[in-house]
Chains A and B, each alone.
Chain A
Amino acid sequence: MNYFTSFIGAIFSAWSDPVTDPMSSHDAQQLIASSKLNVLYHRQEQMELDSSESRVISRANYTSSEWTYMVMRVVGKAYFEITALDTDDVTVITSKIPAYGTEKMPGIAIISSYNITAISVVSQQDNTLVELYAAISCADDDTRLN
């Protein structure tokens, strides 16, 4: 299964002067690109979390070495809490990837990573609305695509 994506996240461009079509500028065009995302498994969830509440994200039966692709849309304040292995497959690394926004301008966090051993979503504000898209992706030569 494939998704054709424009997982570009926010596409930004900046000018000193107003322009008719900002998306046609060089800066913006550099960031715009559609690419094919091979998806082996995906799931969407919506949750509302109070401050300090967390939710563990499982990835079915896939191993930690798989390519994990996640998009989180946040109205409120929340972060991905991630435990993973470094490139030596031994050293433990951790990260917190926050997103922050309102209904008018929701926060967006996107991760494309691997070697993840655990992921949670942690809220930092009451009534934070989180929409989550989680996928296991793969390269074009992955035999499981056949």
Chain B
Amino acid sequence: MTVHLRRQIAIRTAKGILDGLPDATVFPYRLTDVLPKFVLNLSNGSYSANTIEMNATDSYVVPLPVNYDSANRISCFFRTTSPIKVVIVDPELGTSTHLIKATNGTTKGDHYGILMWQGRVTSITVSVPAAFADAEIDYFLFNIPDLTLDASWQIGNQALGVVS
């Protein structure tokens, strides 16, 4: 499997903001300085992705990538249309409970909630708190290699390929 990966963390400033807040450009520039695209040739085809719809009080255990070993790190990305709760069990950092804020609808506007991180994971469970509306949740999880080896990224002894 080949994973084409683009890290595009752009903050596109609104018209006029540059005049009023010159400092606002500094950090966004550095963010967009992240290399635009990588190709990782993954030898183990290990990723997990889906779009799920959940009602209030629903709970869902997110499947981890196939063959994933919690000794390694994965990159995790969640996007939701309504507030949700995420419980992450990390063998290194312990259990985390995190609320993702989002809004939708004409009054409050459609603003996605996002949670993204790279770490070790034993389990991930998402749920919609009782007081909130139905949520549509996108997620994408995949193994990340040992980034200390720039020329030949690998997980443990398993070479994943090279950056191109």
Residue ranges of A at the interface with B (Cβ–Cβ < 8 Å):
1-19, 22-23, 27-28, 30-31, 33-38, 42, 44, 46, 67-68, 71, 73, 79, 82, 84, 86-87, 93-102, 104-115, 131-133, 137, 139-141
B-side contacts of A100, CB under 8 Å: 73, 118-119, 144, 147
B-side contacts of A79, CB under 8 Å: 93, 117, 119
Count residues of B near A (Cβ-Cβ below 8 Å).
74
Are B117 and A97 neighbours in the complex by a CB distance under 8 Å? yes
Shortest beta-carbon distance from B19 to chain A in Å: 12
Alpha-carbon separation in the docked complex, A123 to B7 (Å): 22
Secondary structure call for the A interface = strand
Q: Is B96 an interface residue (CB 8 A)?
A: yes
Residue ranges of B at the interface with A (Cβ–Cβ < 8 Å):
1-14, 17, 20-21, 23-24, 26-28, 30-31, 34-35, 37-38, 47, 49, 51, 73, 75, 77, 79, 83, 85, 88, 90, 93-94, 96-103, 107-119, 129-132, 138, 140, 142, 144, 147-148, 150, 163
Shortest beta-carbon distance from B83 to chain A in Å: 8
Q: A3-B11, A4-B14 are in contact. Are A96 and B93 (CB under 8 A)?
A: yes
Find B147's partner among A11, A38, A104 (CB 8 Å cutoff): A104
Are A33 and B112 neighbours in the complex by a CB distance under 8 Å? yes
In the complex, given contacts A18-B2, A96-B96, A104-B35, what are 14 additional A-B residue pairs having Cβ atoms less than 8 angstroms apart? A2-B14, A3-B13, A7-B114, A8-B114, A34-B12, A87-B83, A108-B34, A112-B114, A113-B98, A115-B99, A139-B103, A139-B108, A140-B103, A140-B109
- Minimum CB distance partner of B113 in chain A: A112
Alpha-carbon separation in the docked complex, A46 to B26 (Å): 10
B-side contacts of A106, CB under 8 Å: 7, 34
Find B9's partner among A7, A98, A102 (CB 8 Å cutoff): A7
- Minimum CB distance partner of A44 in chain B: B27
